[in-house]
Amino acid sequence: QVQLVESGGGLMQPGGSLRLSCAASGLAFSNYDMGWFRQAPGKERERVATVTWINANTYYADSVKGRFTISRDNAKNMVYLQMNTLKPEDTAVYYCAARHSTATRYNYWGQGTQVTVSS
């Protein structure tokens, strides 16, 4: 079955950097759009960044543009989120998600990794 396993979360001071990783298995990875989403306490889940299966086109939420970078390695079935200049408002559980190229919604999700930005 499809598994997405996130890693790399933790506690970081404002202005610091973290790199999240997502290892995917059980799917033809190169045929899937991949994304990072986050959910903070009391807030709705937010799409943070996505990268398409073809041409690796990227999307970023306005709140993270210029600070976060999403990338994928199809040879390793991995997707990454480099997060720089972290802010307290980036605190959330971050989820990796996958969507087949023919699907309209992300339907595979990881268990999430906590990112806390605090001094």
Query: Along the 119 residues of the chain, how does pLDDT read in single tens digits?
Result: 999 999 999 999 999 999 999 999 999 999 999 999 999 999 999 999 999 998 889 999 999 999 999 999 999 999 999 999 999 999 999 999 999 999 999 999 999 999 999 99
Contact 83, 20 (CB under 8 A): yes
Closest by alpha carbon to 37, among 88, 110, 105, 96? 96
Q: Which residues contact 51 (CB under 8 A, 6 or more apart)?
A: 33, 34, 35, 57, 58, 59, 70, 71, 72, 79
